[in-house]
Structure 1
Amino acid sequence: MQQTAARPPASHADSAPRPPGPPARGRLWRVLGWVSIGMSAVLVVASLTAYGFWRRLDGQIDRENVDGKLGDDRPAKLNNSMNILLMGSDSRAGENARYGEEAGQRSDTTILLHISPGGEQAIGISFPRDSMVGIPPCKKPGGGSSPPQFGMINAAFSTGGPACTWRTIESLTKIHIDHFVEVDFSGFKRVVDALGGVEICVPRRIDDPKAELHLRKGRQIVHGDQALGYVRTRYVLGDGSDLDRIKRQQAFMASVVKKATDRGMLTDPGRTFAFLSAATKSIKADDRLTLSVMQKLAGGLRGMSAGKVRFVTVPVQPYPQDKNRVQFNQVLAEPLFRAVREDNKVPEPAPPAPVPAQGNGTRVPPVPPAQVRVAVYNATASTGLAQRTADQLAERGFQVVKVGSRKASSSAPTQILYGRGAERQAARLAIALPGHPPRAWAGGRPGYVYLVIGRDGAALRGLKRTLPSVTGEIRADADICGQT
């Protein structure tokens, strides 16, 4: 497992400590509207706690095992957020045959739903289907593997199904994804109907036989087929571009979230059950999205309101080789991806970390971060974790003298170790990284502190990246007629 150097000052390069030994054991398709279904289910379900009810819903979900399909070079999990990859299938099998024949199936637009720790906020990030990206090697559903390729992002789904799209989004954003949810045309309609319809706002009268769409001008409620036609149509609304359609579909999703979080829905058990039952019958998910995971997620989302939910599109720019395609604008996209990766809940104030006693039994305060020389080692299978943690520590003023790795262990916890004379320095690092009491290490260099990152990670206290505003973003509590 490779780690890059931490860019330490030249004066420390020759005296950088060697790694410590093993620590002690013990411790949419073209339809984006369906995405709101997954979001809404997560929001509404927070009010339901009966175990039997959960079990019944859980048994209705079609699940897929993706173990072994995501690769060994996945991004590290840096916080306690939840990232769910939401995908739509344009399959024409079964109930979807009425929408015409089309070989295979694709996910022409994909959403990454990020829920901040503690349910403080949520953001849905759309990836336009026309985006030209690098797609990593993927295992094919029928056996064998596909080679790395460069093409439209929706090719990942047709190549290797949900797991390949999952792997592709992780490789592009370096954001650790926890679960996936997939739905098709018929599932989308069932859920919209279970909600009692969804409010939209149309700038002019629409008659589109191809999309089976007939709408009057202005604010109105749409159900099954009309809702599906509204989010599918491309040329009778807007400028005909995929980006313009995404904006309209995000407004639709925002309307669903607003309705799903309405007190009338939340306080009516019959309506809530009908909605969640339709949703669970309509989705496919990974087999790690278990009953206990859903219950835990629901518990953390109590109090989520429409005002805390927004939808954005990954910043893109024209693809030079083809005017009908786009590519990520990395200058604008990377700050968004980084904020999601490092979105940590600000913890409650805690008492200062215990300062190790000196030889005479007295305790002294910790030193400033600038006086702490720390070596950071990654003892997990997540590549790049030590370097990212080292960068965060450097931003706080710590002297990072080395970044490296040691043999990964699935059971070893994160540890703060220190050499002779570095008690106060270790105490300062323990304040920045709560929950890891420092301990002396006889093999450590005098004056040095060692951070060995284990199974419980290294979340810095109070480090909170504000999720940046993105041009054109849509809030779920905004007026629907002001967003279309």
Structure 2
Amino acid sequence: MQRAVAPPPVYYADSAPPPPEPPVRGRLWRMLGWVSIGLSVVLVAGSLTAYGFWRRLDGQIDREDVGGRLGEHRPPKLNNSLNILMMGSDSRAGENARYGTEAGQRSDTTILLHISPGGQSAIGISFPRDSMVQMPPCKRRNGTTVPAQFGMINAAFSNGGPACTWRTIESLTKIHIDHYVEVDFAGFKRVVDALGGVEICVPRRIDDPKAELHLRAGRQTVRGDQALGYVRTRYVLGDGSDLDRIKRQQAFMASVVKKATDKGMLTDPGRTYDFLSAATKSIKADKGLTLSVMQKLAGSLGGMSAGKVRFVTVPVEAFPQDKNRVQFAQAAAEPLFRAVREDNKLPQPEPVAAPNKVQPVPPTQVRLGVYNASGTGGLAQRTADQLTERGFQVVKVGTARKPVPHTQILYGAGAERQAARVSIAVPGHQSRPWASAKPGYVYLVIGRDGATLRGLGPMVPKMAGEIRADRNICAPT
């Protein structure tokens, strides 16, 4: 005979849920190839303020006018976010001849970097090169037109260069792209070397003569050919698929961002300038990415930390006609694209506490239980996920048996400053003490009037396997 399970407690307007369990550990989070340069540049450029330095760096960028080749019916610009298309070219021309004699030129890696309004966060969205997509007609540099076609997404680059890849991504996502950045193999190596190398972690010893890759197991710093071999190799690490290589490239990109935003890097003008000089010598970009645009971008990103940067892959599924190819999983991909399109709300300014008011603590010092007393299924978990995203320690998520009319913020002994922080994050609800609460804990009880977080626009949803730039580099991807 099974033991009877007690029903969940009822929470009324003048009561609160029982104290939460002890804190639980948060979940780990989960892009790149040759274009680590693009994101790294904008993340560290804020440390250079001298106009002369900017002019010198600006003059090193190879620019192309693509405006007349993007088509007349582009997605509208809906907000003040910034979308930069970053491409890694597999060209074998010039310095890249040593990597083979493959004909043509394709985008070996394609990433859409989305920077939220105000530079509060960034996300890199990777488009697998084996994705089968419908490509629009594209104009070549010589004025001829390549007709619309169905094929692998990386073919767009060989059809009409960066402008064709730009137009293809816009047609697939309906996201307005502002600029593009391109880097090749040799440029990638220069950037990594200018950083002083990038830290990686491999599960076992690697010897891959084809990729010129020889690595010992564990943590290590790679430079030059070793770094390039690590992001290029496909068959000696993982399952040999392009999707698995993308995961490794994302982890590498995360490590690049972490290194580029390191305090030692940002406070050393010499190191920063050397890095940016190598970067600007290594990239191609559109003519619209002007000096003033870069300065404005750098200013908005000056305070961004590695923890605010994450990398995801467009959800895909097997392509029915070819098991070696994939196609977008539209049901899962469209919410991601929509969130990026509609990311139009700047964070609301935080209220300043008066001298005689309680001074709130940072979110990381708040131990919080979130309980659903609204009658709307899943609301507590969604709210808890959003609060976790903002740094709160959500230690308990629960559901009430019956709804209550108004959302409450309750706290135990010693948690008044923590409750003040929750009141800022969830405005419109005053906090109050609760004698039965566990000391040091705060309780958010969501009533029928809901709980809208301050300044939260359409969130870019969490994606399976995403990687955050402040991750432990040896954590599994």
Settle same-fold status: TM greater than 0.5. yes
Instruction: Tell me the alpha carbon deviations over residues 108-164 of structure 1, each in whole angstroms, 9 at most, x when there is no partner.
Output: 320000000001100000000000000000001232101110000001000000000
Counterpart residue number, 1:215: 215
**Displacement of 1:346:** 3.5
Counterpart residue number, 1:49: 49
**Displacement of 1:49:** 1.0
1:325 aligns with 2:325: yes
Whole-Å Cα distance in 1 between the matches of residues 299 and 260 of structure 2? 17
Counterpart residue number, 1:466: 459
Alignment of 1:369-408 (within 5 A): none
Q: Secondary structure at the match of 1:68?
A: helix
1:270 aligns with 2:263: no
**Displacement of 1:463:** 7.1
**Displacement of 1:345:** 2.6
**Displacement of 1:32:** 3.0
Counterpart residue number, 1:91: 91
Counterpart residue number, 1:165: 165
- Given that 2:47 and 2:269 are in contact with CA atoms closer than 8 Å, whether structure 1 keeps it comes out as no
The one-letter code matched in structure 2 to 1:137 is P
- Given that 1:108 and 1:128 are in contact with CA atoms closer than 8 Å, whether structure 2 keeps it comes out as no
Q: Secondary structure at the match of 1:175?
A: coil
Q: Secondary structure at the match of 1:331?
A: helix
Distance verdict in 2 for CA 1:247–1:70, change over 3 Å: same
Whole-Å Cα distance in 1 between the matches of residues 171 and 229 of structure 2? 33
1:200 aligns with 2:203: no
Q: Secondary structure at the match of 1:481?
A: coil
Counterpart residue number, 1:147: 147
Instruction: Tell me the alpha carbon deviations over residues 207-263 of structure 1, each in whole angstroms, 9 at most, x when there is no partner.
Output: 000000000000000000000000000000000000000001100000000000000
RMSD: 1.5
**What TM-score comes out, normalization by structure 2 length?**
0.71
**Displacement of 1:344:** 1.8
Counterpart residue number, 1:477: 470
Alignment of 1:237-256 (within 5 A): 237-256=237-256
Whole-Å Cα distance in 2 between the matches of residues 132 and 234 of structure 1? 20
Q: Secondary structure at the match of 1:480?
A: coil
Distance verdict in 2 for CA 1:471–1:284, change over 3 Å: same
Gaps of 5+ in 1: 1-30, 351-460
Counterpart residue number, 2:16: none
- Given that 2:36 and 2:188 are in contact with CA atoms closer than 8 Å, whether structure 1 keeps it comes out as no
The one-letter code matched in structure 2 to 1:99 is Y
**Displacement of 1:304:** 0.3
The one-letter code matched in structure 2 to 1:469 is K
Matched-pair identity in %: 83
Report which stretch shifted further, 253-262 or 136-145: 136-145
Whole-Å Cα distance in 1 between the matches of residues 302 and 48 of structure 2? 10
Instruction: Tell me the alpha carbon deviations over residues 435-476 of structure 1, each in whole angstroms, 9 at most, x when there is no partner.
Output: xxxxxxxxxxxxxxxxxxxxxxxxxx9671011000000000
Alignment of 1:87-166 (within 5 A): 87-166=87-166
Counterpart residue number, 1:28: none
Gaps of 5+ in 2: 1-30, 351-453
Distance verdict in 2 for CA 1:322–1:183, change over 3 Å: same
Instruction: Tell me the alpha carbon deviations over residues 319-374 of structure 1, each in whole angstroms, 9 at most, x when there is no partner.
Output: 00100000000000000000000002345479xxxxxxxxxxxxxxxxxxxxxxxx
- Given that 2:35 and 2:109 are in contact with CA atoms closer than 8 Å, whether structure 1 keeps it comes out as no
Counterpart residue number, 1:176: 176
**Displacement of 1:302:** 1.5
Q: Secondary structure at the match of 2:474?
A: helix
Whole-Å Cα distance in 1 between the matches of residues 33 and 319 of structure 2? 26
Whole-Å Cα distance in 2 between the matches of residues 34 and 166 of structure 1? 17
Q: How many residues align?
A: 344
Distance verdict in 2 for CA 1:483–1:39, change over 3 Å: farther
1:82 aligns with 2:75: no
- Given that 1:307 and 1:476 are in contact with CA atoms closer than 8 Å, whether structure 2 keeps it comes out as yes
Instruction: Tell me the alpha carbon deviations over residues 256-281 of structure 1, each in whole angstroms, 9 at most, x when there is no partner.
Output: 00000000000011110110000000
Whole-Å Cα distance in 2 between the matches of residues 144 and 53 of structure 1? 39
Instruction: Tell me the alpha carbon deviations over residues 288-343 of structure 1, each in whole angstroms, 9 at most, x when there is no partner.
Output: 00000000111111210000000000000000010000000000000000000000
Instruction: Tell me the alpha carbon deviations over residues 52-98 of structure 1, each in whole angstroms, 9 at most, x when there is no partner.
Output: 00000000000000011000110011100000000011111111111
Counterpart residue number, 1:72: 72
Whole-Å Cα distance in 2 between the matches of residues 89 and 298 of structure 1? 25
Whole-Å Cα distance in 2 between the matches of residues 281 and 347 of structure 1? 35
Whole-Å Cα distance in 1 between the matches of residues 476 and 191 of structure 2? 23
The one-letter code matched in structure 2 to 1:195 is L
Alignment of 1:361-440 (within 5 A): none
Whole-Å Cα distance in 1 between the matches of residues 210 and 237 of structure 2? 13
Whole-Å Cα distance in 2 between the matches of residues 229 and 318 of structure 1? 27
Q: Secondary structure at the match of 2:281?
A: helix
Q: Secondary structure at the match of 1:97?
A: helix
Stretches of 4+ aligned residues off by more than 3 angstroms: 346-350
Counterpart residue number, 1:281: 281
Whole-Å Cα distance in 2 between the matches of residues 328 and 303 of structure 1? 34
Counterpart residue number, 1:227: 227
Whole-Å Cα distance in 1 between the matches of residues 467 and 287 of structure 2? 31
The one-letter code matched in structure 2 to 1:71 is G
Q: Secondary structure at the match of 2:52?
A: helix
Q: Secondary structure at the match of 2:67?
A: coil
Counterpart residue number, 1:36: 36
- Given that 2:344 and 2:457 are in contact with CA atoms closer than 8 Å, whether structure 1 keeps it comes out as yes
- Given that 2:90 and 2:106 are in contact with CA atoms closer than 8 Å, whether structure 1 keeps it comes out as yes
- Given that 1:474 and 1:483 are in contact with CA atoms closer than 8 Å, whether structure 2 keeps it comes out as no
Whole-Å Cα distance in 2 between the matches of residues 129 and 349 of structure 1? 41
Whole-Å Cα distance in 1 between the matches of residues 326 and 160 of structure 2? 22
- Given that 1:137 and 1:147 are in contact with CA atoms closer than 8 Å, whether structure 2 keeps it comes out as yes
**What TM-score comes out, normalization by structure 1 length?**
0.70
- Given that 2:176 and 2:341 are in contact with CA atoms closer than 8 Å, whether structure 1 keeps it comes out as yes
